[in-house]
């Protein structure tokens, strides 16, 4: 039954979007599946955006969507934020891609070190994936070890994705995969490979793996185990740094050795950072006893540097981040009440929410592994039909231009969509 209803919703969607359908057909000729980011690929085809402003997207067929995806958390400031536009306009006038330095990069570095207590020094990259690759390399070089401990469902980039049983394009890494929130499995791994595990790479909330919060003692326990075993603790805060002015680590009171950031800090331009303890970061300085070259043509690209400077200085204030966090907690609570009436639930933390088609308690990726995701796909299409855009797998991300009024629109669309999904049955 649900397959037929889904097919109907694809047909209805396609009939309303002839121009996006044509665009997709052209794209398929030269791009596998017509896309260049697998996460954006959904049935029957993604709509093509013509313009965006604030928390709204307009597609080339003229449909307007309230954006509750926020480009998978990049869009914290919304679309075309004034502060970023003003910051990149002088770059267009004065030039970019110099092959030497510009003033912004040292200032962005200073501001990051000021915010994140665990960062003495930082290095920029073009993406979160690259930042994590640098972090892993620094950790393994500094410990002279070869294994990396990661978590099932952990997503650290296109080449660093650790879901058991799912094929990946990962770089060759000797990875030990444990269960999120299961400190005992980490302890056992250290018992077995204490001399080999060079680092633990963890998201302070399992992000793409389901937006699953860390239990209070989990991250503190990882800190202790890393200390006891001489391993480097790396926090991937590409998603969670939005939780407070000093990131998730400030809220949780855990100090990692290295932290990676990316996404929204670049204001929508390519961005990545690895930062941390001086002893580790100085491996990237010239002339040290153990020093390594690390370059990247776009590490200091002026658009990203100018945009991130504006984001850090003008947009990502303690007030705006705390407000976003509180609105997210409130929205998740209200959404969860509606969802649970229909056998779904909302997980997440602050302004990052995940919708799942199950009401079992979720503390690790395995708890979601067996769930039939088709009801979430149908919910996604029903929300689109009502002019609300979320991630195809149930991801909801808040942004600053949204308001309590848009949250109410979201909740009312969610309620009526759930009624349709429930009527179909599973
Ligand atoms: C937690 C986390 N780390 C790393 C990345 C990779 O960042 P990027 O897509 O900029 O390479 C992502 C992207 O979704 C992420 O969610």
Q: pLDDT tens for residues 308-333?
A: 999 999 999 999 999 999 999 999 99
Write down the domain spans for the chain: 2-76+318-424, 82-315
pLDDT at 426 over 80: no
β-sheet bridge partners, residue 268: none
Distance 153 CA to ligand 1 centre (A): 13
The pair of three-digit structure tokens given for residue 153, joined into one six-digit string: 């469902």
Radius of gyration of the chain (CA): 22
Fold of 2-76+318-424: 3.90.1150
Percent of the chain with pLDDT over 90: 97
pTM over 0.95: yes
The pLDDT mean for the chain works out to: 97
Domain range 82-315, CATH architecture? 3-Layer(aba) Sandwich (3.40)
Confidence of residue 393 (pLDDT cuts 50, 70, 90): very high
Q: Residue whose CA is closest, atom 3 of ligand 1? A: 156
Q: Residue whose CA is closest, atom 8 of ligand 1? A: 128
- What average pLDDT does this structure show over 288-296? 92
Fold match between 2-76+318-424 and 82-315? no
The pair of three-digit structure tokens given for residue 186, joined into one six-digit string: 């980490």
Give all strands of the β-sheet with 197-202 in edge-to-edge order.
121-125, 272-276, 258-262, 232-236, 197-202, 147-151, 174-178
Which atom number of ligand 1 is nearest to the Cα of residue 262?
A: 10
Q: pLDDT tens for residues 62-83?
A: 999 999 999 999 999 999 999 9
CB-based contacts of 333, cutoff 8 Å, min separation 6: none
For a mutational test of ligand 1's pocket, the pick from 75, 156, 395, i.e. the residue with the most ligand atoms closer than 8 A to its C-beta, is 156
- What average pLDDT does this structure show over 288-292? 88
Confidence of residue 287 (pLDDT cuts 50, 70, 90): confident
CB-based contacts of 387, cutoff 8 Å, min separation 6: 63, 64, 65, 66, 413
Q: Which residues line ligand 1 (CB under 6 A)?
A: 72, 127-129, 132, 155-157, 203, 207-208, 236, 238-239, 262, 272
pLDDT at 293 over 90: yes
For a mutational test of ligand 1's pocket, the pick from 159, 262, 265, 268, i.e. the residue with the most ligand atoms closer than 8 A to its C-beta, is 262
Instruction: Write down the H helix ranges in 95-215.
Output: 104-115, 128-143, 183-193
Which atom number of ligand 1 is nearest to the Cα of residue 127?
A: 10
Confidence of residue 288 (pLDDT cuts 50, 70, 90): confident
């Amino acid at each position: 039954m649900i397959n037929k209803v889904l097919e109907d919703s694809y047909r209805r969607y396609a009939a309303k979007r002839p121009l996006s359908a044509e665009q997709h057909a052209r794209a398929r000729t030269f791009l596998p599946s017509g896309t260049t980011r697998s996460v954006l690929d959904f049935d029957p085809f993604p709509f093509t955006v013509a313009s965006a402003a604030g928390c709204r997207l307009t597609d080339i067929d003229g449909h307007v969507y309230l954006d509750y995806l926020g480009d998978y958390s990049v869009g914290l400031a919304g679309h075309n934020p004034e502060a970023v536009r003003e910051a990149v306009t002088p770059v267009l006038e004065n030039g970019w891609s110099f092959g030497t330095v510009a003033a912004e990069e040292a200032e962005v570095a200073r501001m990051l070190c000021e915010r994140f207590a665990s960062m003495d020094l930082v290095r920029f990259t073009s993406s979160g994936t690259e930042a994590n690759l640098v972090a892993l390399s620094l950790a393994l070089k500094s410990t002279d070890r070869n294994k990396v401990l990661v978590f099932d469902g952990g997503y650290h980039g296109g080449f660093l994705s650790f879901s058991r049983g799912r094929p990946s394009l990962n770089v060759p890494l000797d990875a030990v995969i444990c269960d999120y929130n299961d400190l005992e499995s980490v302890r056992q791994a250290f018992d077995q490979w204490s001399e080999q595990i060079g680092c633990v790479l963890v998201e302070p909330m399992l992000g793409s793996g389901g937006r699953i919060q860390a239990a209070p003692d989990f991250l503190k326990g990882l800190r202790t185990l890393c200390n006891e075993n001489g391993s480097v603790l790396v926090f991937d805060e590409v998603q969670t740094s939005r939780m407070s002015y000093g990131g998730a680590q400030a809220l949780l009171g855990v100090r990692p050795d290295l932290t990676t950031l990316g996404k929204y800090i670049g204001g929508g331009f390519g961005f990545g950072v690895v930062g941390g303890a001086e002893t580790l970061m100085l491996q990237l300085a010239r002339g040290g006893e153990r020093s390594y070259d690390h370059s990247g043509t776009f590490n200091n690209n002026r658009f990203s540097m100018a945009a991130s400077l504006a984001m850090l200085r003008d947009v990502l204030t303690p007030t705006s981040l705390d407000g976003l966090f509180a609105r997210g907690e409130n929205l998740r609570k209200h959404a969860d009440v509606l969802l649970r009436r229909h056998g779904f639930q909302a997980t997440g933390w602050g302004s990052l929410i995940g919708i799942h088609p199950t009401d079992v308690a979720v503390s690790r990726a395995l708890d979601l592994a067996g769930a039939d995701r088709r009801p979430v796909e149908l919910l996604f299409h029903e929300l689109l039909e009502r002019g609300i855009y979320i991630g195809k797998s149930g991801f909801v991300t808040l942004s600053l231009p949204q308001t309590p009024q848009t949250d109410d629109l979201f909740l009312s669309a969610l309620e009526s969509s759930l009624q349709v999904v429930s009527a179909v049955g599973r």
